[in-house]
Amino acid sequence: MLFRWWPVIGLLLMIGLGRWVGRGPTAVDRYFLRDNTAIYDWRLVLLVFTDVRVVTAAWVVGIAVTFWQRRWRPALTIAVTAPAATFLVAACKQAFGRTKGATLAYPSGHTTMLVVVLGLLVMAAGWAAWTLVAASVVTALGMAGQALTYHYFTDTVGGLLLGTAVVAAAAVVAGCPPESVEPRRTAGVPD
């Protein structure tokens, strides 16, 4: 049940977080911004997970595999949802106006796109448990990379909330939600 409501809940949480953090860093953000030379090299390595070329390649592979499998609905969902999310995150950035440096920062577009593409790939894989675990690990690493470099940590949380809301909406609209949210049918009982 929560999955079907997550598009609304996730969007409301993202809006609430954006209003709460305002235009500057929070105490949590400052923790991630502290000068820590011991992890400096790792910050840059972690950016590979949100690199536009890597995320775009994963998106294209997802489209290609689902088309090859003749799974038209997931293929079309993957093809349309990621570009739509790009426009949505741009509109959100304009609406919130939070900057880091001279660039609009909330919600993190890199994090949003990573979450959207990985979520769509998980959907295409039939919500297999191992894909959820792998996507969660990659998402956490990507969020860390962005939070330690170009974004405030709360920007990445906003991107996570927006991205998961987009994926849940796309899955429900496309008729591809996880089986656990499908209505259960009882033998012998009419619908």
Reported as a single tens digit per residue, the pLDDT across 156-188 is 999 999 999 999 999 988 887 776 644 444 444
Q: Is the pTM of this model over 0.95?
A: no
Secondary structure (H, E, C), the chain:
CHHHHHHHHHHHHHHHHHHHHCCCCCHHHHHHHCCCHHHHHHHHHHHHHHCHHHHHHHHHHHHHHHHHCCCHHHHHHHHHHHHHHHHHHHHHHHHHCCEECCEECCCCHHHHHHHHHHHHHHHHCCCCHHHHHHHHHHHHHHHHHHHCCCCCHHHHHHHHHHHHHHHHHHHHHHCCCCHHHCCCCCCCCCC
Reported as a single tens digit per residue, the pLDDT across 11-24 is 999 999 999 998 88
Reported as a single tens digit per residue, the pLDDT across 67-92 is 999 989 989 999 999 999 999 999 99
Question: Does the structure show a pLDDT above 50 at 34?
Answer: yes
pLDDT confidence band for 39 (50 / 70 / 90): low
